[in-house]
Amino acid sequence: MVSFVYGVIIGFVFAFIGYVKNHFTKKLLDVNYSDDVDYSVVAVIAAKNEESVIENTVRNLLTNSPRSFRVIVVDDKSTDSTYKILSELSREFPNLTVVRNTGAPGKSEALNVALDLVKEDIVLFLDADARVDWDFIKEYSKLFRSPEINVVFTDFESYNQSRTLAVILQDLYFSFIKAFVYSGLFSPTIFMNSGVFIRRKVFDIVGKFDPQTLVDDFDLALRLWKRKLKVKFVRGKRCKIQYAFRLQDLFKQHCRWYIGGIKKIFEQFSEGYYLGIIAIVAIGAFVLFPILMLVLAYLLKADYLLSTVMPLFWGILYSSSLFSYLFHDGHRPKEILINTIIGVPVMYAFFQIAILVSFVRSFEKKSTWYKVKREKI
């Protein structure tokens, strides 16, 4: 019991440090940047079968925005009415450019089609379900008046109307990820490829998106690390996104992330970048920690591993996850209760299963992209 309490205290401290680190990024938005240099911005979206969300996304972007701001949407071989909706919108908004991906299907290839059309200084990448407006773009794009800023990943939140268990659990999951991964607390910052601003010239340095990967954002993050180009996670206005609202969708989405990530790490290892193997070992140790402790306790006859180390681990895991969640505002009392009682163990078990399944499936020659079902809002 004592070691569990110590774990809770340690977890709280870690969560608080991660939260504070992210909170102070708001100060970047308060800096009075010089008006001598102003950069042009373009938003880029790859859309495949997004008829339920694409119109609202485009309207949010272009309503009240200046004509100098442009949006490029690449239709990635949609089989629904996505392209028709976009074509009609392009007649209403002259600064909307709509093109079709005529090459190999896939998000990365569609984004590369858009990059070939970009003339602006700053590129904002968004998913087809993202909700941002011109005020959001103005707030973050001014950061690029600092020559030290190359990539800015913005804060985000869900706008799902269906508050299912899957959505509630993701609030817990992403709060943890923001505190410990996006903050760069223990490793260089990675990002999602929605709500991220990147200088166009960065792609001249690191190259365009890899059409073969399942994780375009993680792949790009690896290449940024190699070039020592830092990513800033900034907590200002939030990019509103949809979370997977069904547990089966959530599981398949996570498997796609982890399969793509594991494949990419193995690829880096084969190219002589050995940091990836450390990541594999660290993730494996985290996923299998309870099993490892049971095995070691039996083999070494070390009862303290079960009586002291295991409670310490559970205390740190529970506390760091829950407090990362509670430090973020806007949670409903019912959802706080759910995540307090079952959220941490359910998400940990979910993560364990998804990682183990993904590790096995990462050895398959062909992996397919799983598209999460959207809510029409």
Each residue's pLDDT tens digit, 228-287: 999 999 999 999 999 999 999 999 999 999 999 999 888 877 776 666 667 677 778 888
pLDDT of 35 = 55
Q: How far apart are CA 276 and CA 271, in angstroms?
A: 10
Q: Collect all residues with Cβ–Cβ distance below 8 Å to 92 and sequence separation of at least 6.
A: none
Predicted confidence band of residue 185 (pLDDT cuts 50, 70, 90) = confident
Per-residue pLDDT at 274 = 66
Task: Among 73-82, 109-118, 186-195, name the one with the lowest average pLDDT.
Answer: 186-195
Instruction: Judge if pTM exceeds 0.75.
Output: yes
Beta strands in 11-63, from DSSP E residues, in sequence order: 41-47
SS3 116: coil
List CB contacts of 148: < 8 A, sequence separation 6 or more: none
Using the predicted structure, report yes or no on whether residue 365 has a pLDDT greater than 90.
Answer: no
| b/e burial code for range 119-154 (CB count within 10 A of at least 16 → b) | ebbbbbbbbbbbbbbbebbeebbbbbbeeebbbbbb
Q: Are 174 and 326 in contact (CB under 8 A)?
A: no
Mean pLDDT (the chain) is 92
Task: Tell me which DSSP letter residue 199 carries.
Answer: E
Q: Rounded to an integer, what distance in angstroms lies between the CA atom of residue 11 and that of residue 321? A: 8
Rounded to the nearest 5 percent, the helix, strand and coil shares of the chain are 55, 10, 35
Q: Backbone dihedral region of 45: left (phi > 0), alpha (psi from -120 to 50 degrees) or beta? A: beta
Q: Distance from CA of residue 215 to its chain's centroid?
A: 10
What are the tens digits of pLDDT across the range 12-66? 999 999 999 999 998 888 776 655 547 899 999 999 999 999 999 999 999 999 9
Distance, CA of 358 to CA of 364 (rounded, Å): 10
The pLDDT score that the predictor gives to residue 74 is 98
CA gap 94, 300 in Å, rounded: 71
Identify the pLDDT of residue 188.
82
CA distances from 222 to 93, 105, 363, 370 (A): 36, 23, 21, 22
Full 3-state SS string of 328-351 = CCCCCHHHHHHHHHHHHHHHHHHH
Distance in angstroms (rounded) separating the CA atoms of residues 235 and 88: 35
pLDDT for the residue numbered 34: 59
What's the pLDDT band for 327 if we cut at 50, 70, 90?
very high
- CATH fold of the domain at 21-167+174-242: Spore Coat Polysaccharide Biosynthesis Protein SpsA; Chain A (3.90.550)
- What was the pLDDT predicted at 276? 61
* The pLDDT value given to residue 26: 86
66 CB neighbour count, 10 Å cutoff:
10
Residues in the chain: 377
> How does pLDDT run across 218-245, given as a tens digit for each residue?
999 989 988 999 999 999 999 999 999 9
Single-letter residue type at 131? R
Residue 210 pLDDT exceeds 70? yes
Which DSSP symbol is given to 181? I
The alpha carbons of the chain give a radius of gyration, in whole angstroms, of 22
Q: Do residues 136 and 237 make contact, with C-beta atoms less than 8 angstroms apart? A: yes
Q: What is the pLDDT of residue 189?
A: 86
Domain boundaries, the chain: 21-167+174-242
Where does the pLDDT of residue 77 fall: very low under 50, low under 70, confident under 90, or very high at 90 and above?
A: very high
Residue 49: phi, psi to the nearest 5?
Answer: 55, 55
For residue 201, what pLDDT is reported? 96
